[in-house]
Amino acid sequence: METKKKDIRALTKEQLRNFFVERGDKAFRGNQVYEWLWQKSAHTFDAMTNVSKETRQMLEEHFVINHIRVDQMQRSSDGTIKNAVRLHDGLVVESVLIPTETRTTACVSSQVGCSLDCRFCATARMKRMRNLNPDEIYDQVVAIDNESRLYFDRPLSNIVFMGMGEPLMNYNNVLKAIDMITSPEGLGMSPKRITVSTSGVPKMIKKMADEEVKFGLAVSLHSAIDEVRTSIMPFNATFSLADLREALEYWYGKTKSRITYEYVVWEGINDTQEAAEALVKFCRFAPSKVNLIEYNPIDDGEFQQASSAAVDMYQRTLEKNGITVTVRRSRGKDIDAACGQLANKA
């Protein structure tokens, strides 16, 4: 019976070095192969031109490189690019390149589907199939960096984990991917240019704080009133606002890193002065910034963007209380690439 080949990128550098030593070769051969796999993003062993043909054949016999493939690329009228990314087992996730005049941002996925149940999000309506491996997350970033250089003539500048899935429900793989993205042996990006967005998993926020991560944290909040938040994000019944706030206080105490809150204002749900005041109260315990995000419909019309007067009221209330606020307009809506719209429609 044929033995299943192992994905070579599941090995650490040390394991690769040992693999070669055990076969009577030099340890540095592992360094060479590791560089090809990560820094040079080789998709085949034959691409490793400074490695002998015999060694390449030997690697082929033992391992596979489970690289992603961009199956379909769509371009929005505003320049946004959405990739349908096919994984080695045939499943598909989506990632997005968002260009501005000064930078390009990759919005990457961490799960096929999502572990959580936010009622306003298209991805949450999909069944969670599996977590992405570190290399599959890394490859999304490489693909978008290549597109950034090709279409915008500059390297990728920022990464947000705001694609499909809840990153903190795939904690270990997300952190391994970020380690490689920021490593000089990987893409060498600064962790300060990376933001992990969570719907709020208190235990994992505390774990991140204990590990003294250097990337930014964003929280999809959408309401600071428990009953309202539970009605739109049912998991809030398990991870309450009190628990979330305690975890965020712990995060700030450990990292001294400002917290970003993502917040959509919906008509008839959270478009009141009371809701805005509750948000102010929730934000007060640590330096924070609120992004008021334009809502992107997901077909059935249950959730509707609030009036511009309601958004203005939020902005005034936050600013009056000394809280930094930005009103973010959606990008890529015409290709279902905007926030909350990723669901493999293509």
Structure tokens at 250: 């712990």
Measure the CA–CA gap between 160 and 248, rounded to whole angstroms.
Answer: 19
Residue 226: its H or E element:
helix 226-232
Measure the CA–CA gap between 274 and 326, rounded to whole angstroms.
Answer: 20
| Residues linked to residue 327 through DSSP beta bridges, in sequence order | 292
Binding-site residues for S-adenosyl-L-methionine sit at: 165-166, 197, 220-222, 296
Q: Is the dihedral of CA 37, 41, 45, 46 positive or negative?
A: negative
pLDDT tens string 35-47: 999 999 999 999 9
Measure the CA–CA gap between 276 and 287, rounded to whole angstroms.
Answer: 17
Q: What is the mean pLDDT of the chain?
A: 91
Residue pair 44/66 in contact by the 8 Å Cβ criterion: no
Binding-site residues for [4Fe-4S] cluster sit at: 114, 118, 121
Residue pair 265/311 in contact by the 8 Å Cβ criterion: yes
Measure the CA–CA gap between 198 and 196, rounded to whole angstroms.
Answer: 7
The radius of gyration computed from the CA coordinates of the chain, to the nearest angstrom, equals 22
Weakest-pLDDT range from 43-57, 66-80, 289-303: 289-303
Measure the CA–CA gap between 65 and 136, rounded to whole angstroms.
Answer: 11
Asked if pLDDT for residue 345 goes beyond 50, the answer is no
Q: Which fold has domain 7-64?
A: DNA polymerase; domain 1 (1.10.150)
pLDDT tens string 183-192: 999 999 999 9
Weakest-pLDDT range from 118-122, 174-178, 242-246, 323-327: 118-122
Amino acid in the structure at residue 316: R
Q: Is the dihedral of CA 194, 198, 202, 203 positive or negative?
A: negative
pLDDT tens string 229-247: 999 998 899 999 999 999 9
Enter the pTM of the model.
Answer: 0.91
Residue of 22, 35, 94, 302 marked active site: 94
**HSE value, Cβ hemisphere, 13 Å, CA-based, for 321:** 21
Residue pair 193/159 in contact by the 8 Å Cβ criterion: yes
pLDDT tens string 70-81: 999 999 888 899
Measure the CA–CA gap between 255 and 206, rounded to whole angstroms.
Answer: 11
Mean pLDDT (whole number) for 203-208: 97
Q: For residue 282, what are the contacts with CB-CB under 8 A and spacing of at least 6?
A: 221, 224, 241, 245
Measure the CA–CA gap between 162 and 262, rounded to whole angstroms.
Answer: 11
Structure tokens at 230: 């539970």
Q: Is 60 a catalytic residue?
A: no
Mean pLDDT (whole number) for 167-173: 96
For the chain, the domains span 7-64, 69-335
Cα–Cα separations (whole angstroms), residue 334 to 75, 79, 81, 140, 297: 9, 11, 11, 22, 11
Residue 330, φ and ψ in degrees, nearest 5: -75, 150
Mean pLDDT (whole number) for 167-178: 97
What DSSP character marks residue 266? B
Measure the CA–CA gap between 222 and 120, rounded to whole angstroms.
Answer: 11
Amino acid in the structure at residue 130: R
Which of 4, 1, 133, 135 has the alpha carbon at shortest distance from 62? 4
Q: Is 283 a catalytic residue?
A: no
Binding-site residues sit at: 114, 118, 121, 165-166, 197, 220-222, 296
**Length of the chain in terms of residues written:** 346
CATH of 69-335, one of 3.60.15.10, 3.40.50.300, 1.10.3720.10, 3.20.20.70: 3.20.20.70
Amino acid in the structure at residue 233: M
Residue of 147, 262, 283, 339 marked active site: 339
